[in-house]
Structure 1
């Protein structure tokens, strides 16, 4: 249940970040080199909706994230999804979550979502020049989880995640997670 609590805290922070970043240029560059600010915000809101819909669906299948249009800053959509997840997660973690043709255990998916939103929150905060500081317990959990997902199939030049960036072992947890996820800190 700790992953769920950390995820809900990160989503609360993300909603506040999106409110505070409402005046950020849509074309501002982000450390996530595939996306500018507007595109990354759409990715984050779309996938959060898809994941939430998947946890709610009888067949546990995520909806289409591309079908989601960001409303305003996207903050209210994040809040609505977080409210739904508050109700869904305790029971949903026992079920698989189907993402496209693939599926994974619900608790593993929650760990993946936590990691993704910690890192993409950091990406958005960097582009907006705003602070981002998820809780240490959640960051440490993601530092333990992420290496299992960052296989050579997904991390490297031209892949979903750039090559890991060396970060000192005593750096803050968020910096280590960003570096592990291929972000230059």
Structure 2
């Protein structure tokens, strides 16, 4: 199986988006300023990243184009749950009409099938679902299948040079082999699996 291939990729992406939407819809407005496992990002910052940047950019990517760097000039606003759901539906519509076998340019040169872009999106929404659930303590049970798939994909694709303080992914945090799927995923993405939710959690990161 080629390293970019994921069985039923759009089903996985749809599940990841639904899970993220469930977490976001459970977040209270009073939690917007709470810190998250993403260094220096509050809940509001992470919601902005997901709603304004990721959903827009990934829809552009699904259409075979390069991302729009101006997307970050917008703001997420207060109705982040509706905006995420609307953006997720738009993203899935873009993918549903895409030719997944079409060749698209890679940032470093060369080409790959359009479907190769889906793995990144699945992992992004899965990891950030954990980030937001961990930051706020919302009672959402996260799907371990998504974590397993995201970890397997990212371990194949993520090179050491992708890590760094300026890239949002820190050094891997070692966790016990018997850890659950999301603890392993969080550690791989440089998160503190023991992060505690709440407005004073910043000192525990």
TM-score by length of 2: 0.76
**Counterpart contact for 2:130–2:142, Cα < 8 Å:** no
- Would the alpha carbon gap of residues 66 and 99 (structure 1) be closer, same or farther in structure 2, given more than 3 Å must change? farther
Determine if the alignment matches structure 1 residue 143 to structure 2 residue 151.
yes
Determine if the alignment matches structure 1 residue 67 to structure 2 residue 73.
yes
Q: CA deviation at 1:135?
A: 2.8
Q: Which runs of 5+ in 2 are unaligned?
A: 1-6, 194-205
- Would the alpha carbon gap of residues 80 and 93 (structure 1) be closer, same or farther in structure 2, given more than 3 Å must change? farther
- Would the alpha carbon gap of residues 118 and 124 (structure 1) be closer, same or farther in structure 2, given more than 3 Å must change? same
State the structure with more CA Rg. Answer: 2
- Tell me the residue number matched to 2:202: none
Determine if the alignment matches structure 1 residue 54 to structure 2 residue 61.
yes
**Counterpart contact for 1:164–1:182, Cα < 8 Å:** yes
- Tell me the residue number matched to 1:94: 101
Aligned residues: 183
TM-score by length of 1: 0.83
Determine if the alignment matches structure 1 residue 15 to structure 2 residue 21.
yes
Determine if the alignment matches structure 1 residue 116 to structure 2 residue 107.
no
Q: CA deviation at 1:101?
A: 8.3
Choose 43-52 or 124-133, whichever is displaced more: 124-133
For residues 92-140 of structure 1, the C-alpha deviation after alignment (integer angstroms, 9 at most, x for no partner) is 4334567988886432221011111111111111111114544333222
**Counterpart contact for 1:6–1:137, Cα < 8 Å:** no
RMSD: 2.6
Q: Which runs of 5+ in 1 are unaligned?
A: none
Counterpart Cα distance in 2 of 1:78 and 1:97: 26
Partner secondary structure for residue 153 of structure 1: helix
